[in-house]
Amino acid sequence: MAPHANTDDVDHDIVRLPGPERPPFSTSPPRLLIIGAGNRGNAYANAIQESTNGILVSVVEPIEVKRRLLGRKYIWGKGTPSEGQEFRDWKEFVAWELERRKRAENGEEVPEGVDGVFVCVQDQMHREVVVGLAPLELHVMCEKPLATSLDDCVAMYRSLVSGPEAKQKKIVSIGHVLRYSPHNMLLRKLLVEEKVIGDVMSVNHTEPVGWWHFTHSYVRGNWRKESTSAPSLLAKSCHDMDILLWLLCSPPPNSSKPAHQPSTISSAGSLQYFHQGRKPTEAGNATNCLSCAYEPSCQFSAKRIYVGSQMGSRQEHFVSIVLPEIEDCVAAGGEEAGEKALLERLSEDYNASTPASEVSSKNWYGRCVYEADNDVCDNQTVTLTWDNDPITSGGETPVQALTGRGAKIATLHMVAFSQKICQRFTNIYGVHGEIYADSDSITVQDFRTGQKKVHYPSVPKDGGHGDGDHGLSRQFVLAIDRVKNHGEELEEAQRMYIGCGVEEIIRSHAAVFAAEEARKGRVVVDFKSWWEREVEGRLKSR
């Protein structure tokens, strides 16, 4: 039993739930393309292969080694790629696909096209790719965040919907994988549908990034600078903002009620630690761990994090990002050759004569964490409040209408310095009980009966966001299949299998942008008026 489930003085039940089954294959399975063969592209490739009723048939990736590694593992095996199975960039794919369609119209024998695409490029490229793909009218799953600015989110919305009623052209999903983990799906069912603790009064939610995960991704890695990626609240914790809104804002399934929008959003946070002012004097002017006298004593030593053995099971994953070709190195020369290649990569350094553009253009994974050019928050809180919002339409009394739409408050805490890595935990306090949810279980305490019930959702296949990677992929591909092969209406498939529309995707991102405005301006944002002013009119105008 989980350590927090103390049952010494209460009656308790343990509920264990089976994992979801893989959907059956149709005679013409959805055919899928991945754009971007990095970490997220590989995660979705694995999920497609293991958990969906679709097939991965093509990959787009400019870096050849990454493209070939994904292709060999998930598409063409030990052979060589055929026409239409690999492309260097998305523009090359679009040109090829338009030509393929012309050839097909002329009666030529051509490879079968793709039905849907997983967009897994760098965050700042999402708008360019999604808008660029729009003429092909493919089903789209875009990795989170949707975009790094509100302007880009609005542009993508306009490319994905059409007409005065904002009808979606195809199935659209976003990489908010936490919505699709068995854990969070059960949590929402208990909280929103079964109302096991009554109306929610307050929520405390923590996203522990992990001290060395933060150094990898947000000090040395792709998401270290707001100007080239996004604020860490958007890049890392848009998942968490979305989950809070999904639990506290989105109406239950099949409800005709509008979303219960937050009333206010405020935020505080900064880059507290990873800057030059914190650098130990013993490190001197060193800019790279492998040439630093202080390295053996440094907690953040790149050698310790990537080569040492104390970082645990996730180390292999992060090493593959630093050196994508490490599997080939090990295959050719053994573990010693792999470590040598890794150390060579980590030793890459710059000096005073290195152009600033070159320094900022790449990830230096052996870099001193106190000398990096990072500027994103390593500690941040967001507070959301909701006012009473009774809906009296349809003959409901105000008391009935207020159910689930009463005043409440929620706090999100993103923290870099934690031993846990992305193992989120949440306390939810309701009128009739409270819930503690972590990455393993959900514990419900009923105030009225004194009973404690512990729910254990299914064990994830690979640990990827609590099986959320597999869950999202399964639902996205299933929605495509239902439209393609079973005559289901697009709107119904979007609602049934994706669970939200494009406007709801925009709303959770807008909440992040509002929180950043509040943090930087040290103000409390009136979210309803902010949404009307900054978002709603722009979505409707064409």
User: What is the residue extent of each domain of the chain?
Assistant: 31-176, 199-273+375-430+501-540, 276-360
Residue that the structure tokens 């995707």 belong to: 505
From first to last of its 542 residues, what are the pLDDT tens digits of the chain?
344 444 444 456 776 666 678 999 999 999 999 999 999 999 999 999 999 999 999 999 999 999 999 999 999 999 999 999 999 999 999 999 999 999 999 999 999 999 999 999 999 999 999 999 999 999 999 999 999 999 999 999 999 987 666 678 899 999 999 999 989 999 999 999 999 999 999 999 999 999 999 999 999 999 999 988 899 999 999 999 999 999 999 888 777 788 899 999 999 999 999 999 999 999 999 999 999 999 999 999 999 999 977 777 778 889 989 998 898 899 899 989 999 999 999 999 999 899 999 999 999 999 999 999 999 999 999 999 999 987 655 555 555 556 778 999 999 999 999 999 989 999 999 999 999 999 889 999 999 999 999 998 876 555 455 688 999 999 999 999 999 999 999 999 999 999 999 999 999 999 999 999 999 999 999 999 999 999 988 887 65
Residue that the structure tokens 């994090």 belong to: 305
Smallest CA-to-CA distance from 338 within 351, 347, 329 is with 329
Residue 125 CB contacts under 8 Å (≥ 6 apart), including other chains: none
CA distances from 496 to 121, 241, 254, 275 (A): 27, 22, 9, 47
The CATH class that applies to domain 199-273+375-430+501-540 reads alpha beta
Bridge pairing between strands 139-142 and 172-174: parallel
Q: Does domain 31-176 have CATH number 3.40.50.720?
A: yes
Write down the pLDDT at residue 309: 76
Write down the pLDDT at residue 258: 86
Burial class of residue 520 in the structure, from the number of CB atoms within 10 Å of its CB (0-12 exposed, 13-18 middle, 19+ buried): exposed
Contact between 88 and 62 (Cβ < 8 Å): yes
* Angstrom distance (rounded) from CA 22 to CA 175: 20
Query: Can the peptide bond before residue 145 be classed as cis, meaning omega within 30 degrees of 0?
Result: yes
Phi, then psi, of 464 in degrees rounded to 5 = -70, 95
Q: Where are the alpha helices (DSSP H) in 278-432?
A: 302-306, 315-322, 326-346, 356-360, 398-402
- 129 three-state secondary structure: helix
